[in-house]
Amino acid sequence: MLSNLRRVVLFFLSAVLLYSCASVPTVEHYPHPLDPLSEQEIDSATALLRAYSAFPAHGLFALVSLREPSKDEVLNFRSGVAFRREAFCVVIDRPANTTYEAVIDLNAHKVTSWKAIPNVQPPVLIQEYGLVDGLVRLDERWQAAMRKRGITDFGKIQIDGWATGNTTVAGYEGARLMRALSYYKDTATNFYGRPVEGLIAIVNMNTLRVVKVIDSETLPVPPPGQELDEARVGVLREPVKPLIHEQPEGASYTIHGNEIRWQNWQFRFAFHPREGLVLYTVGYKDGEKVRSVLYRASLSEMVVPYGDRDSMWSWRAAFDVGEYGIGRLSGSLEPHTDAPDNAQFFDAAFADDDGVPYVLEHAVGLYERDGGVLWKHAEMYTATNESRRARELVLYFITTVGNYDYGISYIFHQDGVLEVSAMLTGIMLPKGVSQTHADTTAHELATGHLVSSQVVAPNHQHFLNFRLDLDVDGTKNSVVEIDTWAQPGGTAENPDRNAFVMDETVFKGEREARRTISMERSRKWKVIDPNSRTALGYNPGYMLIAGENSVPYFMPEHQARKRAGFVDNHVWATKFHPGEMYAAGDYPNQSPGGDGLPKWTADNESIENSDIVLWYTLGITHVPRPEEWPVMPVHAAGFKLVPAGFFTRNPALDVGK
């Protein structure tokens, strides 16, 4: 009796501790090499490093994350067997303007690697936003510029810190710099709607001094009325009637630590302070065998270049992953608004700038949703119908980088499709102008759109690069490009002028695999296992099908374009190297450019029948609209990884009614 009671109590406690507001079956967690660092491991790693003899007195932690073991170690891991456990740290000694990388062996409790990385700048630290704010407010030049604009109550100003790009200030070459923009906040929720235009301060973060204040044309601060909170938006429409998301029998997935299993899919996930949500070891159960599809996937980099010609704007191009870290800037998902009622949530552990661990609650969301019709055929001759309703599994997170909010979702479909969706919302970065009405002939409005009186949203683009380490039925893969074209009409190949063909080209080397989308050719890319064939004779493969995309409009000579070489192509393929993780390189902050994909592919390594990584650049050209002000309705874009010859028939044929 006591034993049964104990089991009941333990079961109840495990359910309470589950990060969820849904009824979700779970199984016991066994440690795995790809588990993210726990609070205790972060605390141990940073304590060991702070006690290390070479650790600088003013050292701060720009990054603390799992140092992932090798792919071979992970793929050969067996539950219950001891495994390597290491932490990777990036440390900055700001007064000395020096960056270090360290590796800590968590099993042996010692620092195994410590090295200085010359001429690089880590991402902006969380504390640096506050430091910039305080330093700029006390600067007499900035105060004078405010008074010139009729602003004397500096407490009503919001200062927004930005990475400076690779722009230098004479006499401060190589220094760690930040820019400061100013907004008239007063009591507003949306301070972005009232920019103090024509004023930028540049701060030397090594010496904690404002080294330059740029004060150009003085423009009036846009009027109040840019609010988006419910209390001040005005009369609200009649609310919709309740829509209930319920799973009375619980969710259809199971959780084993950080592994999820659902409808033949099984995969792992983690949350990284730089990349945000990361997928690992994605496989699909085909019969009695789980076949590998993808080893690791994440958002590798994102750049947002602005198209305004004004010198106060032309430098703006935020590298949201490499300069700021979308993981650490993520927020807690709010139940019932950021997520449906049946969502489950997972926390994430981070280290702050001092290396102290903390937990972000509800960092990741997981839920099932209706997916519309999965497949259907109604037979007209017998009046019978075979139709199936689809279910989808969504794993996602949302991050806020200044004015913009981004959500990245990985959506698993029952037919073997893995969809990646990017959500863009938040507040467009505004520019203060004198115009109150749109005039398309006005010089000031040529590179932007008036979205409110005296507020222009400059034209801009978003480029998101996803690193996709596909392992289709193993690590030996090849990349195939598929082009569709019509054969010349009136020939033996196309006598009736209706024939079109699909050519498949296998890439030999990395430079050949630098590719762009072609609407004319309906271009697609496929990663195949060239060493096996299905019963139908195909090499098993997964195809990348692009959605919305764009070409870059900021020119190759622009300083941000030099740092964002990954935008030159929509698709890249590289030979797998564990250190090649970020499309713009490890340290894009103040980088002169040339790092990342352009550098890695210059040697043209062979990628045929090899362990390869596919990189996809998703481009969105944002044409601002008044309907997107003062807050944007969600704009979604993405792509799909679709089985192509991977199965011998529709893998969702076994889904019942």
Active-site positions read 320, 404
Q: Phi-psi category of 616—alpha, beta or left, where left has phi over 0 and alpha has psi -120 to 50?
A: beta
Other CB atoms within 10 Å distance of the CB of residue 411:
18
Q: Distance between CA atoms of 362 and 351, rounded to whole angstroms?
A: 17
Question: Is residue 535 exposed (0-12), middle (13-18) or buried (19+ Cβ within 10 Å)?
Answer: exposed
- Residue whose structure tokens are 């720009």: 62
Map residue 304 onto helix, strand or coil: strand
Other CB atoms within 10 Å distance of the CB of residue 19:
15
Residue 147, phi then psi, degrees to nearest 5: -60, -35
Other CB atoms within 10 Å distance of the CB of residue 147:
11
Closest CA to 411 of 431, 388, 391, 432: 391
Buried b (16+ CB within 10 A) or exposed e, 470-506: bbbbebbbbbbbbeeeeeeeeeeeeeeeeeeeeeeeb
Q: Distance between CA atoms of 240 and 244, rounded to whole angstroms?
A: 12
- Note whether 169 and 213 are within 8 A (CB): no
Other CB atoms within 10 Å distance of the CB of residue 266:
18
Which tokens sit at 29? 């967690």
Residues in CB range of 527: below 8 A, 6 or more apart = 470, 472, 477, 478, 479, 480, 541, 542, 543, 544, 612, 614
Which tokens sit at 101? 């990388």
What pairs with residue 104 in β-bridges? 87, 111
Residues in CB range of 381: below 8 A, 6 or more apart = none
Report the DSSP pairing between strands 384-401 and 357-379.
antiparallel
Q: Distance between CA atoms of 80 and 32, rounded to whole angstroms?
A: 9
Q: Distance between CA atoms of 271 and 324, rounded to whole angstroms?
A: 15
Residues in CB range of 6: below 8 A, 6 or more apart = none
Which tokens sit at 314? 């032309």
Is omega for the bond preceding 630 within 30 degrees of 0, making it cis? yes
- Note whether 395 and 410 are within 8 A (CB): yes
Report the DSSP pairing between strands 254-256 and 26-27.
parallel
Report the DSSP pairing between strands 86-93 and 59-66.
antiparallel
537 DSSP assignment: S
- Give 124-189 as a DSSP string: PPHHHHHHHHHHHHT-HHHHHHHHHTT---GGGEEEEEEE-TT---TT-TT--EEEEEEEE-TT-S
Which tokens sit at 460? 């801009």
Which tokens sit at 150? 């009729």
Q: Distance between CA atoms of 635 and 628, rounded to whole angstroms?
A: 10
Residues in CB range of 147: below 8 A, 6 or more apart = none
Q: Distance between CA atoms of 527 and 484, rounded to whole angstroms?
A: 17
Which tokens sit at 605? 């390594």
